[in-house]
Amino acid sequence: MHHFHYRDGTLHAEAVPLTTIAEAVGTPCYVYSSATLTRHVRAFADAFADLDARICFAMKANGNKAVLRLVTGLGAGVDVVSGGELALALAAGAPADRIVFSGVGKTEAELGAALQAGVHQINVESEPELEALDAVAQHLGVRAPVAIRVNPDVDAATHAKITTGKAENKFGIEWTSARAVFRRARTMDGIALKGVALHIGSQILDLAPFEAAFLRVRDLVALLRADGVAVERLDLGGGLGVPYHAGDETPPPPTAYAEVVRRTVGDLGCALTIEPGRAIAGNAGVLLSRVIYLKEGITRAFAIVDAAMNDLMRPALYDAWHDIRPVRAPSAGTETRLLDVVGPVCESGDTFARDRTLPPLVAGDLVAFMTAGAYGAVMANQYNGRPLVPEVLVDGDRFHVVRRRPSLDDLAALEDLPPWLLREWP
Ligand code: LLP
């Protein structure tokens, strides 16, 4: 469910016409709906209400400060994966004791920053990381609250680039050595061992892989407890998918996901954490763009838009599908045509859609790439000298630019010429 709908023939974000935002902010820009974000956080909170569970929004999906502020204001915590995300979350006002720090390659500096901030939990992914954290914590005179991330070796049945819980993936501690690592962690003075973490992948549309992974963890908890390891917490990761293909994909709702959690690990007496990212932010955002040219090729027709692969990487990177909606609804009876929707970047991979059935777009038309609120703006870059796209948050009938468009001066602001190149041209 989201809040981008046609009203009087124009696509709106909540009560704001996207045409108004395009005029005020320019295109391309990301537009987020507060109502959709709120609805999704509440849907998870309600689904897990009878369980001792904390929702930590995976900010890698959308790290905008205003989004974090909104989500944490609703009681959620944050899952961070770098010192940068930690700093952004704290700057957005996220309480440190609601922050979980995940990631396969945390540096000693990042671990130290997390301990100094007083985060709720650090999810350790390897023995060398455990040793490093132990040393950093002892140096700071604290004990690090740790969950050990295990790799349950289950197939999440999702895109190969976003599956994380198979033995061949780099994530988590290999299943067969998990027990020994827990036993070792228990002896370390800088480590306060709290529990087990896992995350099997992203855009998962079937509950079976979750069920299989959670049952494996259940078995592990029993073995650990038999070894005398206290397991107080379970962090189940994120991964619940969203419908990119309207009408074609029906991801399970948070209630069904919560039911699997309840059935598999609900009776273990553990405090639970879940880390949804995409399911909260995905369809809470669109990328708004304008058609620059319509180019009739010999074999195909191209709608060349002002957004590109650097602004929304998912189609180029994962062949991902995003629905494309014209902002002005076509009048009844308008014939559709097949169009390739492409950006201005100098690569053929800069293609949002091939042979997409669309109304006959013309230069100047606005289009919205749907379900772009997760892994959209956060993955953008400046390739081809294209400044990062601004972000706009809508709330009812008001909107605010929550990340401004950089100026052309900003584009090169971090660059510097070495003195030996400063001489005059010969
Ligand atoms: N927790 C951990 C440890 C993760 O690695 C991830 C995502 C999440 C939570 C959140 O997963 P979600 O609920 O959003 O599925 N860029 C890719 C997705 C990469 C996901 C990486 N990890 C995409 O655009 O599809």
Per-residue pLDDT of the chain (426 residues; tens, 9 = 90+): 899 999 999 999 999 999 999 999 999 999 999 999 999 999 999 999 999 999 999 999 999 999 999 999 999 999 999 999 999 999 999 999 999 999 999 999 999 999 999 999 999 999 999 999 999 999 999 999 999 999 998 888 777 776 777 777 788 898 889 999 999 999 999 999 999 999 999 999 999 999 999 999 999 999 999 999 999 999 999 999 999 997 778 899 999 999 999 999 999 999 999 999 999 999 999 999 999 999 998 889 999 999 999 999 999 999 999 999 999 999 989 999 999 999 999 999 999 999 999 999 999 999 999 999 999 999 999 999 999 999 999 999 999 999 999 999 999 999 999 999 998 777
Q: Are 158 and 197 in contact (CB under 8 A)?
A: no
Rg (CA), the chain: 23
Does an H or E element contain 185, and which?
Answer: helix 178-186
Is 239 among the annotated ligand-binding positions? yes
**How far is ligand 1, taken at its centre, from the CA of residue 374, in Å?**
9
Place of tokens 């099997």: 200
3-state secondary structure of 290: strand
DSSP E strands in 60-218: the ranges are: 77-80, 99-101, 121-124, 144-151, 173-174, 191-197
Looking at residue 303, the DSSP 8-state letter turns out to be E
Q: What's this model's pTM, rounded to 2 decimal places? A: 0.97
- Nearest atom in ligand 1 to the alpha carbon of residue 204 is 15
ipTM above 0.90, yes or no: yes
Residue type, position 117, single letter: A
pLDDT at 426: 75
Does an H or E element contain 69, and which?
Answer: helix 65-73
Sign of CA dihedral 253, 254, 258, 260: positive
Tell how far CA 170 is from the center of its chain: 19
* Rounded Cα distance, 160 and 55, in Å: 26
Can you read off the two tokens belonging to residue 305? 């838009």
> Which protein residue has the closest C-alpha to ligand 1 atom 19?
162
Query: CB count, 10 Å around CB of 179?
Result: 17
Where do the domains of the chain lie? 4-31+282-411, 103-274
> Which protein residue has the closest C-alpha to ligand 1 atom 5?
199
Angle at the Cα of 111 from the Cα atoms of 197 and 171, rounded to 5 degrees = 35
**Out of 2.40.37.10, 3.40.50.720, 3.40.50.300, 2.70.98.50, which CATH number does the structure's domain 4-31+282-411 have?**
2.40.37.10
* Rounded Cα distance, 315 and 340, in Å: 13
* Residue ranges lining ligand 1, Cβ < 6 Å: 58, 60-61, 79, 102, 162, 199, 202-203, 237-240, 275-279, 314, 318, 375
| Helical spans, DSSP H, in 245-366 | 254-265, 278-281, 314-318
Q: Are 366 and 22 in contact (CB under 8 A)?
A: yes
Q: Which of 190, 197, 244 is nearest to 353 (CA)?
A: 244
Residue type, position 16, single letter: V
DSSP 87-123: HHHHHTT--GGGEEE--S---HHHHHHHHHHT-SEEE
The CA distances from residue 125 to 113, 146, 424, in Å, are: 18, 10, 53
3-state secondary structure of 237: coil
Tell how far CA 330 is from the center of its chain: 32
Query: CB count, 10 Å around CB of 304?
Result: 17
Q: Residue 170, class by beta-carbon neighbours within 10 Å (0-12 exposed, 13-18 middle, 19+ buried)? A: exposed
Neighbouring C-alpha atoms within 13 Å toward the C-beta of 279: 29
Q: Are 392 and 31 in contact (CB under 8 A)?
A: yes
Candidate of 41, 59, 60, 129 to mutate for ligand 1, largest count of ligand atoms within 8 Å of Cβ: 60
Architecture of the domain spanning 103-274? Alpha-Beta Barrel (3.20)
3-state secondary structure of 214: helix
Q: Are 165 and 172 in contact (CB under 8 A)?
A: yes
Candidate of 275, 311, 318, 322 to mutate for ligand 1, largest count of ligand atoms within 8 Å of Cβ: 275
* Rounded Cα distance, 2 and 4, in Å: 6
pLDDT at 320: 97
Q: Are 351 and 340 in contact (CB under 8 A)?
A: yes
